[in-house]
Amino acid sequence: MQDVLELGGKKIHNRLFVGTGKFSSYEVMNRALTASDVDVVTVALRRVDASSVKENILEHIPKKCVIVPNTSGARNSDEAVRIARLARAAGCGNWVKIEVIQDNKYLLPDNMETLKATEILAKEGFVVLPYMSPDLSAARRLVEAGASAVMPLGSPIGSNRGFRTRELVEILISEIKVPVIVDAGLGQPASACECMEAGCQAVLVNTAIAVADDPVMLARAFSEGVKAGRLACLSGMSGSSRSANPSSPLTGFLRNE
């Protein structure tokens, strides 16, 4: 059975999306992306610093990848829209991950401003992937506004605390028609696996992979974790219970009646 995620008119095989920040070099990043056979990567936009290295990150991202610019740095919807338009003008397609953050301590997204930006950008033909706090009403409004997926956080960006928002994300999974993609805070392959088991359509990981001693190996581990979780989700796992359910026959054996 071919299990592909259809998003923004594209068929995506690997449900592990990878962010490109914080890698020690573009060369290491390239090897991590290649080794884990990633299909979707995120990038950011920044002012060009003439004095810094003039290497172009796009040349180090495998050709087959869908590039999703994020709007990091945006503090309101206007800035997010401005960044998204700049990204599209750079000629890397029309996908955008909307990220509107004013809170510097927890980097939690502003769902209201994110919604405003989503409305505008979806009308302009962008494939909009909004980073959000897992709130059902906000998610519904984002979908009405034209979001192609919703990206609730697992835990704060870069915190490696795992799938802390599970209860709320599970509600989104059961109620929201577009793919739910957990973004941020997944520090271990087990957390990514857990998201997929719970029914997420994909996960986005950056910090954990980028700052590992061996990012290439951890990228592969995440990719395997995501695959395992996805298979488990599709398998129709049975539920859990407090008491035991024997897995061997309980008929007497070698015992006197």
Partner 1 sequence: MTKFGNNVLYLVLSQEYGMGRPAMEIARLAVSGGIDVLQMREKAMARAELIKLGRDLSCLCKDAGVVFIVNDDPAIALDVKADGVHLGQEDQRRFDIAGTRALLGTDKIIGVSTHSLQQFREANEQDVDYIAFGPIFPTKTKDYCIGEKDIEEVLRSASKPVVFIGGIDMTNVDGLLERGAGNIAVIRAIAAADDIRGAASAFKAKLARGLKMLVRVNGKDEIVQANKKLADLLSDKGIVPDHVVIEHNLKIVPRETWKNISLGNNDNVEIISFVGGG
What residues are labeled active site?
A: 97
Residues linked to residue 104 through DSSP beta bridges, in sequence order: none
The interface region with partner 1, picked from 5-13, 22-30, 118-126, 163-171 by CB under 8 A, is 22-30
Cα separation, 128 vs 146, in Å, equals 7
The token pair that represents 82 in the structure block: 């401005």
The interface region with partner 1, picked from 30-38, 65-73, 167-175, 247-255 by CB under 8 A, is 65-73
Residues linked to residue 151 through DSSP beta bridges, in sequence order: 131
The token pair that represents 51 in the structure block: 């004095």
Query: Within positions 196 to 225, which residues make up the interface with partner 1, using CB under 8 A?
Result: 204, 206-207, 210
Total number of residues that touch partner 1 (CB under 8 A):
38
Q: Which of 42, 77, 111, 118 binds partner 1 (CB under 8 A)?
A: 42
Query: Within positions 77 to 106, which residues make up the interface with partner 1, using CB under 8 A?
Result: 82, 85-87, 89-92
Best CA proximity match to 74, nearest among 94, 92, 97, 105: 97
Shortest CB 32 distance to partner 1, Å: 12
Rounded to whole angstroms, the maximal C-alpha distance in the chain is 88
Shortest CB 26 distance to partner 1, Å: 8
171: left (phi over 0), alpha (psi -120 to 50) or beta: alpha
59: Cα separation from own chain's centroid: 22
The interface region with partner 1, picked from 44-52, 165-173, 211-219, 236-244 by CB under 8 A, is 44-52
173 within 8 A of 199, measured Cβ to Cβ: yes
Residues that bind partner 1 (CB under 8 A): 19-23, 26, 29, 42-48, 50, 54, 56-58, 69-70, 72, 82, 85-87, 89-92, 157-158, 183-184, 204, 206-207, 210
